[in-house]
Copies of this chain bind each other. A is one copy, B any other.
């Protein structure tokens, strides 16, 4: 929504879970259920953290069928850009954050990841594989 000033960016990133969310979204847009799954959060905890980030302009969301796809904003402030570069440089080798990336890879064939990245059309083949998601 609003353009993030530096302090608000810092406020967003000073919580481990929020930082992991932004780090993941820097790789790819994701739906709530995947973030929830990768981070081991309850639905409420994931949703509230995403709302927190959205209200401060660090992430954007769009609905795609039954999923909300979260992504980093298309237009980024200089402040946010600095942080994204910093995460890229400082976190990829970190055990927890590296693990997150690995878990992300494992899920990149799932339907709502495809939906998130493709953005528009959801093919019949994807639609038929949706049952895979029902795991929690």
What residues make up the interface of A, taking CB atoms closer than 8 Å to B?
Answer: 6-7, 10-11, 13-16, 19, 78-79, 82-83, 85-87, 89-91
Contacts and interface: CB of A to CB of B under 8 A. Distances in A.
The quantity of this chain's copies bound in the complex is 2
8 contacts: A6-B86, A6-B90, A6-B91, A10-B13, A79-B86, A82-B86, A82-B89, A86-B86
Contacts of A91: 6
Contact of A6 (B6, B19, B79, B85): B19
B7 A14 contact: yes
Most chain B CB atoms below 10 A, which of A11, A83, A86, A89 = A86
Contact of A19 (B7, B13, B83, B86): B7
